[in-house]
């Protein structure tokens, strides 16, 4: 079996000449448990945004469009102490496999990417990414699905049904699946997630009840508009949860404080954060990642 690519630029050659190298890299990858010890917390770097056409970071409309730069940032983030793994679509994970960046890391595949950002069918979020059998074949460790529900959009029902069946399939393979639920609505044609306490608690209750078992289900939840509401919101379920990062804006310290407070709650077991760590205010990826780990 061939060695991993030694540089990002070598990926193109390797992909063109030896596509089987992806499967070979997956087969030899050193795996680890989702949680190493009792009470362990997870820090996962998220990079599945491009697969649904979401390339913007702040006011930079195409910040994530440069794949070489994204991979360099990901490799740096994954190299930092305390980072447990990555969440990404298949193309990004294949690149990281070839770069040897996924050794002894939790690898989480992004499953439904069909609800393209800004599309009329955004809430009919088809499962166009990893299937459960793909995750098993590559020896990956978990999956993630997005569940946005708009009571005024019939497409939400299709996504709800597909999500339930995907959770069933993941449980059949004994693979954890992280469900990211939102209640949302369209404002001037754009989807807006409702981060009020009632909406977040309701979305958690709906997600927790999907499928024939919740044994392998985790939640991926936002911090509420008022961080003081998180305690009672997280009482809506006994499922383990991680916090998602979302848009940090120009005040990362305020975001860090929100995460720090929510991480004290008994069901919260870590962070899954993407753009705010990969493209932080000030540009220092290592510092942003280290700060998140320190929480």
Q: Residues 123-169: pLDDT tens digits?
A: 999 999 999 999 999 999 999 999 999 999 999 999 999 999 999 99
Please state, in angstroms and rounded to a whole number, the distance separating the CA atoms of residues 151 and 93. Answer: 34
Confidence bin at 3 (pLDDT 50/70/90)? low
Tokens for 253?
Answer: 């310290």
For the chain, the average pLDDT equals 94
Pairwise CA distance, residues 177 & 273, whole Å: 17
User: Which H helix or E strand runs over 20?
Assistant: none
Helix (H, G, I), strand (E, B) or coil at 253: helix
Predicted confidence at residue 248, as pLDDT, reads 63
Residues 6 or more apart in contact with residue 284 via CB below 8 angstroms: none
Phi and psi torsions of 182, nearest 5°? -145, 145
pLDDT of residue 58: 85
Among 136, 130, 53, which residue's Cα sits nearest to residue 87? Answer: 130
The structure tokens 């848009």 sit at 247
CB 117 within 8 A of CB 53: yes
pLDDT per residue over 201-220, tens digit each?
A: 999 999 999 999 999 999 99
User: Residue 1 pLDDT > 50, yes or no?
Assistant: no
Q: Which two tokens stand for residue 95?
A: 């690149």
The answer to whether 234 and 265 are in contact (CB under 8 A) is yes
Q: What residues form DSSP beta bridges with 187? A: 190
| Residue of 210, 125, 135 lying closest to 167 (CA atoms) | 210
Does the model's pTM come out above 0.85?
Answer: yes
Token pair in block for residue 247: 């848009």
Q: How many CA atoms lie within 13 A of 262 on its CB side?
A: 31
**pLDDT (mean) for 81-87:** 98
């Amino acid at each position: 079996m061939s060695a991993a690519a030694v540089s990002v630029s070598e990926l193109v050659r390797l992909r063109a000449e030896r596509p089987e190298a992806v499967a070979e890299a997956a087969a030899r990858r050193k795996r680890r448990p989702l949680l190493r010890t009792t009470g362990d917390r997870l820090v996962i770097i998220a990079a599945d945004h491009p697969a649904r056409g979401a390339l913007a970071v702040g006011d930079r409309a195409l910040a994530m469009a440069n794949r070489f730069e994204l991979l360099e940032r990901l490799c740096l983030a994954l190299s930092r102490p305390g980072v447990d793994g990555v969440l990404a679509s298949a193309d990004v994970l294949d690149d990281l496999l070839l770069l040897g960046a996924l050794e002894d890391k939790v690898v989480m595949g992004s499953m439904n990417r069909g609800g393209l950002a800004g599309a009329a069918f955004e809430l009919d979020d088809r499962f166009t990414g990893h299937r459960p059998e793909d995750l098993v074949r590559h020896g990956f460790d978990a999956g993630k699905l997005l569940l946005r529900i708009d009571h005024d959009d019939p497409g939400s029902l299709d996504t709800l049904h597909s999500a339930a069946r995907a959770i069933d399939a993941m449980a059949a393979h004994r693979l954890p699946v992280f469900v990211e639920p939102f209640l949302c609505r369209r404002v001037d044609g754009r989807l807006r997630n409702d981060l009020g306490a009632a909406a977040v608690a309701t979305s958690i209750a709906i997600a927790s009840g999907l499928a024939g078992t919740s044994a392998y289900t985790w939640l991926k939840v936002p911090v509420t508009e008022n961080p003081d509401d998180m305690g009672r919101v997280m009482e809506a379920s006994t499922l383990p949860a991680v916090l998602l990062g979302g848009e940090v804006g120009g005040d990362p310290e305020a975001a860090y404080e929100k995460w720090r407070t929510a991480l004290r709650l008994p069901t919260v077991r870590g962070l899954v954060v993407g753009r705010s760590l990969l493209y932080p205010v000030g540009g220092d990826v290592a510092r942003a990642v280290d700060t998140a780990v320190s929480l």
